[in-house]
Chain A
Amino acid sequence: MNLLNTFFNIPILIETFPLLLSGLLVTLEIGITSIIVGLVGGLFLALVRLYGAGPVPFLAKIYIDIFRSIPLLVLLIVVYYALPFVGIRFSPFVSAVVALTLVSSAYTAEIFRAGIEAIPHGQFEASQALGLSSRHMMIDVILPQAIKIVIPPLTNNCINVLKDTALASVVAMPDLLKQATQAQALSANPTPLIGAALIYVALLWPLVSIVARLEKRFGGEKRA
């Protein structure tokens, strides 16, 4: 009973729930923005890495390797606390989105590249022989086939981005985790933290089970 009162105190949960929900909203804002920008950036990076001219593919590879190597927390702290020293000052929201997007686009680029490379060479040749431009070849022939291959790993990447939004709390972003710790301090009770954990699980569990099903159907590759 005491345990329940400590860790799952219903009145406290009800009291702090609006705060947690406002945090969830911020988490979703950061997460969804980063996912969308990361998708666009990742597709762009994949295309220039595969088909860019001159040094462009090499530069894209360097970018991708760097942002897959750097710990997100380190990157976030650099963006928020170090960049101001050179006069670049981002709000907590922008800092979080920038850091998440830089990393997400690197992973997404590799996912798209693997998807495009999995398309048989004959599809490219048939498109070229018909006179399709590179743009139409990509839009009408290659990408629609690659999409099926990349959906499971892309969904996986979305899960990772949504999870990683919790790191934004270190730059004072009032996301779900930050609000939960705030509420915990105010009520002197850990229940809001448990509530936040449950909300994360409720948000991501469906995505996790979708990925599992998709991977069974198409076979997919996990983010390392």
Chain B
Amino acid sequence: MRPLIQITNLKKAYGIFTVLHGIDLDIDEGEVVCVIGPSGSGKSTLIRCINRLEAFSSDSSIVVDGVTVGPGKALAKVRAEVGMVFQSFNLFPHLTVLKNVMLAPMRVRGTKSADAERKARELLARVGIAEQAEKYPGKLSGGQQQRVAIARALAMEPKVMLFDEPTSSLDPEMVGEVLDVMKRLAGTGVTMIVVTHEMGFARQVADRVIFMDGGRIIEQGTPGEIFDNPKEERTRGFLRAVLNH
């Protein structure tokens, strides 16, 4: 079976500063992959290349579900199939929660308003915020906003969901509610790539854990392999630092 996402020789540089040194990575349908590593190691850049929020070197290649991620017309198609959840939520503050979730299906897929609304209410119920549908995002807590952001991305019925440190800007008491939603999502077979510092979540939910440092994948494997039996010294050093924290 062809992998859902094929990343080949992914290189990215800002001027003379190379952020990604030719990464090769395949991700299968239904796989939940957690990306860990020190700050500045290129985790965000890696997943932001998948929907081309970051441009990358022209001798690199990313293929999502058979469509090459490039600067041309196909990009819209890729972006419609790839959902993304940001550290800073990035909800649309001038639209109600419901409208936030309805917007993309109506504009990108041409879904009828009534259908989009039914779907949006269903998703909001799934992430546990059905009662907040008519409110504006500014009135919600961080945890609630992030759950809306997840519902908004899911409304497009994406083939893969990208998460960039979805709990890093949350107050500690709200981390759990967002991770719970993500755990349930992982259980439904959605393909997920999650950049995270939540080692407990990675250990419990990931099919595969990828450790990055200095713009390279240093080591990858099952949570057991990475957390209990890391082979690389850099992985061990990183885990020692975060687990003692």
Contact = CB atoms under 8 A, between A and B. Distances in A.
| Binding partners A and B | yes
Interface of A: 120, 122-123, 125-126, 128-133, 136, 140-141, 144-145
B93 A128 contact: no
A131 B156 contact: yes
Given A131-B76, A140-B103, A126 B108 contact: no
Given A133-B76, A141-B92, A126 B107 contact: no
Interface in B61-109: 76-77, 79-80, 82-84, 86, 88-94, 103-104, 107-108
Contact of A129 (B77, B83, B92, B93): B83
Contacts of B76: 131, 133
Contacts of A136: 107-108
B103 A126 contact: no
B80 A126 contact: no
A126 B86 contact: yes
Contacts of B94: 144-145
A130 B85 CA distance: 10
A150 to B, nearest CB: 14
B51 A129 contact: yes
Interface string B51-65: 101000000000000
A103 B43 CA distance: 48
A115 to B, nearest CB: 13
A5 B142 CA distance: 70
B10 interface: no
A131 B89 CA distance: 17
Main secondary structure of the interface of A (DSSP, over half): helix
A141 B104 CA distance: 11
A130 to B, nearest CB: 4
A141 B99 CA distance: 11
B19 interface: no
B153 interface: yes
A140 B79 CA distance: 17
Contacts of A130: 79-80, 83, 103-104, 108, 152-153, 156
Q: By CB atoms of chain A within 10 A, which of B84, B88, B107, B152 has the most?
A: B107
Q: By CB atoms of chain A within 10 A, which of B53, B90, B103 has the most?
A: B90
B83 A132 contact: no
A122 B53 contact: no
A125 B53 contact: yes
Contacts of A131: 76-77, 79-80, 104, 108, 156
Given A131-B156, A132-B104, A125 B80 contact: no
A132 B107 CA distance: 7
A40 to B, nearest CB: 22
B103 A125 contact: no
B165 to A, nearest CB: 13
Contact of A126 (B77, B82, B90, B156): B90
Contacts of A132: 103-104, 107-108
Contacts of B108: 130-133, 136
A194 B103 CA distance: 55
Contacts of A145: 92-94
Nearest to A133: B76
12 contacts: A122-B88, A126-B90, A128-B51, A129-B79, A130-B108, A131-B79, A132-B108, A133-B107, A136-B107, A140-B103, A141-B92, A145-B93
A122 B94 CA distance: 14
A148 to B, nearest CB: 8
A128 B89 CA distance: 14
A83 to B, nearest CB: 44
Contacts of A133: 76, 107-108
A123 B95 CA distance: 12
Given A128-B79, A130-B79, A130-B152, A122 B90 contact: yes
